[in-house]
Amino acid sequence: MTPDSPPAIEVNDLTVAYRERPVLWDIDFTVRQGTLTAIVGPNGAGKTTLIKAVLGLVRPAAGVIRVLGQPYRDARTEVAYVPQRGSVDWDFPTSALDVVLMGTYANLGWIRRPGKRERQQAEEALEKVGMSAYADRQISQLSGGQQQRVFLARALVQGARIHIMDEPFQGVDARTERAIVEVLRELRARGDTVVAVHHALQTVPEYFDDVALLNVRMIASGPVDQVFTEENLRVAYGGRVPFLQGVTGGRAP
C-alpha cells in the first residue's frame, strides 16, 4: 500500500437524525486500508446507523462519506455488506447456496440468472466458511452460527476489498467464532479491510487492529493499544462498562 493511497473509509462531520432525534452527531471517522476495525459502543449508540450511512442505506442530515476516496455509489463494487443475522426471515423458502448466490447479483445485472460460474464461486465461498456440507439445506434448518457463516460467504462471493459487518459474532457458537476470525485474518492478509460492529469488549484487542468507540458522538478511534483505554470506555459507556477488568489495550503496568 502506498502511503498516499486513500483510506478505506473516510467519514467527515456526519450527522444522522431520525425525526428530530440525532442518532449520530458530528462523526469524524477514518478506517485505514488493510486493517480489522471494530466499532463498539452501548445499545443505541448508532453503530448500525453509522455503517448503514456508509453503505448509503440511511440518508445523513449532514456530512461527507468517502469509500476509497470516492462517493459510495462509485466504489460500490469494492464493498461487501454482512447485515445483522436477525434482519431477515430465516424461514424464507431458500437454500444456503441460494443465499450465497445473492452476493453475485450485483455483477450479473438485470434479468440474467446466476450460472455455472456463479455457482462455483458460491460453493467456494461456502467452503471457505466451512459450510460446504450445508449448501442445499433450507436456511431455517441451520443453527445461528451456520446462518451467520452463510451471510459471511455471501459477502465473500462479492469479491470486494472492504467488508462491512454488523455484529458478525452475535450469538454464534465458539466454532463459528473461530471460523469467522480465521476468515477475517485471511482477508486482512491479502490487503482487505474489515469494519465490524462488535459487542464483546474482551475480544477487541485479540481480534482487531483499530477500534472506534461510539456513543452518538465519536468518543475515540484509532489503534486498539492507543484508544481502547479504560477512560475512553468509561466515557463511551457512561461508567457502566461491561467486562472492563483486564480488557483494555492500554494494559496496566
Partner 1 sequence: MIFDYTLRTVALGAGTLGAVAGALGCFAMLRRQSLLGDAISHAALPGIGLAFLLTGSRATPILVLGAALAGWVGTLFVLWIVKQTRIPEDSALGIVLSVFFGIGLVILTWVQRQPNAAQAGLETFLWGQAATLLTRDVWLIAGVGVVALSLLALFWKEFKLLSFDPEFGASLGLPMLRIDILLTSLLVVAIVLGLQTVGVVLMSALVVAPAAAARQWTDSLRVMVVLAGVLGGGAGAAGAVVSSTGSGIPTGPTIVLIASAAVVFSLLASPRRGVAAELLRAARTRKRVRTDAVLADLYALAAQHGEAAEHPHSMAVLRTMRDREGSLDRTLAALARRGWASETSRGEWALTPAGIERARDLFLGNGDVGEAE
Give the residues lining the site for partner 1 (CB under 8 A): 52, 55-57, 73, 76, 79, 81, 83, 87-89, 92-95, 99, 102, 105-106, 108, 110-111, 113-114, 138, 140, 154, 158
139 class by beta-carbon count within 10 Å (0-12 exposed, 13-18 middle, 19+ buried): buried
What distances in angstroms separate CA 224 from CA 105, 205, 219, one per listed residue? Answer: 36, 6, 13
Phi, psi (5° rounding) for residue 214?
-125, 135
Smallest gap from residue 2 Cβ to partner 1 (A):
28
Residue 9 β-bridge partners: 31, 67
Smallest gap from residue 188 Cβ to partner 1 (A):
21
Smallest gap from residue 83 Cβ to partner 1 (A):
6
CB atoms within 10 A of CB 241: 18
Residue 15 or 94 with smaller CB distance to partner 1: 94
Smallest gap from residue 112 Cβ to partner 1 (A):
8
Residue 21 or 73 with smaller CB distance to partner 1: 73
Smallest gap from residue 176 Cβ to partner 1 (A):
15
Residue 64 β-bridge partners: 12
Residue 110 or 174 with smaller CB distance to partner 1: 110
Residue 93 or 253 with smaller CB distance to partner 1: 93
Question: 154 by DSSP, 3-state: which?
Answer: helix
